Amino acid sequence: MKPAEARPPARAMVWAPNWMGDAVMALPALQAWTRQSPELQPHWLARPAVAAVLQAANLPGEIIALPARASERWPRELMRQCRQARAELAILLPNSFASALAAWRLGIPQRIGYGRDGRGLWLTRRVRRPRPGQYPEHEAYGYWALLADAGLLPVPPEKLCPELRLDAAARGRGRARLAAGAAGFAVVAHAGAAYGAAKRWPPEYFALLFRQLSLAGCGITLVGTSAERDLADFILARSGASGSNLAGQTTPAELLEVIAAADLVVANDSGPMHAAAALGRPVVALFGSTNERQTHPLGPPGYAQCHVLVAADISCRPCKLRQCPLDHRCMRRLRPEDVAQVIMPILNRHAAKARE
């Protein structure tokens, strides 16, 4: 008699990625896993910006809020809440030692994650990184590979498509916060990047671009964290554009509403860039120190509105450094006129459609 197959755990606890952009890249795997397993009762451990992404992805289960900073200690109430979930399976999407230790301390019997950062002792299944060529290069496939190795997902499709959805009321709230332009075209921009200055297009270049877009009738709204507010103020002042600075003025959920209402998003390789594509908004993505083949924006099925811009013939990129030890040539050789050349046809198509 053939033995019955083991029942896959229904009560899972998923440690979500720590950053908004990584969470968006993990969505194709997480959305596929929850769709094919309707019996799942997952609990998602997520920091505030990531929790907003999970909510907009309409994933089933309950979100348990983690402290905003990875270095903060867990309060007792959080540990109690996690134990009450009685999870049978822990899926660790971050590669941190701390996440594996926490899953072990919670007594979760099955603990799956990549065997990195010396945390293998705390895992019951140590997954190896995919071999070169086993999957496409994009980091979204790394999240899929983790679940596939654990037997939770099949071979990935050729194209992975994260999708975030906000209702009309949410988009309306976002639109109400956008700067108005004479052309009725709202540009949302993120000039920062939490990883480091090497990922940031020069602020004076943003200012020159915004001056041109403002003259063309575009409304300019800058978003970001409170730490990026002074940067946004500098850019707006230098551009002479009558835009709006929402950096540090939105919750993560409100940030998604603002992005969802934009006619165009211009951003460095950052969380807002990834969120904009997943929301189906047109994106102009500026890449320098990072590898666009690994982290370019992915959107919903049929999405074809992403323009990835990279300066040509820069031999030292992608270096993936936080600070450039040279002259930041990968970003400085991507000129404002190059970016404007991509944006103006989008603006012209919008204007033509408005006249119909």
Which pLDDT does position 209 carry in this prediction?
Answer: 98
Domain ranges of the chain: 12-149, 170-355
Which pLDDT does position 1 carry in this prediction?
Answer: 34
Which pLDDT does position 9 carry in this prediction?
Answer: 75
CA distance 264 to 305: 10
Cut 0.85: pTM above it? yes
Burial of 304 (0-12, 13-18, 19+ CB in 10 A): exposed
CA distance 33 to 170: 27
CB 186 within 8 A of CB 261: yes
Which pLDDT does position 7 carry in this prediction?
Answer: 55
Instruction: Classify domain 170-355 at the CATH topology level.
Output: Rossmann fold (3.40.50)
Calculate the average pLDDT of the chain: 94
DSSP 71-99: TSPPPHHHHHHHHHT--SEEEE-S--HHH
Beta bridge partners of 306: 283
Give every CB contact of residue 33 below 8 A, 6+ residues apart in sequence.
Answer: 40, 147, 152, 153
Which pLDDT does position 5 carry in this prediction?
Answer: 44
CA distance 38 to 307: 36
CB 242 within 8 A of CB 217: no
Which pLDDT does position 174 carry in this prediction?
Answer: 98
113-120's contacts with Cβ under 8 Å and 24+ in sequence apart are 113/146, 114/146
Instruction: Classify domain 12-149 at the CATH topology level.
Output: Rossmann fold (3.40.50)
Average pLDDT across each block of 10 residues of the chain; the chain has 356 residues. List them in order.
51 96 98 93 95 97 90 88 95 94 96 91 93 94 96 94 98 96 93 93 98 96 97 96 95 98 97 98 97 97 96 94 96 97 94 80
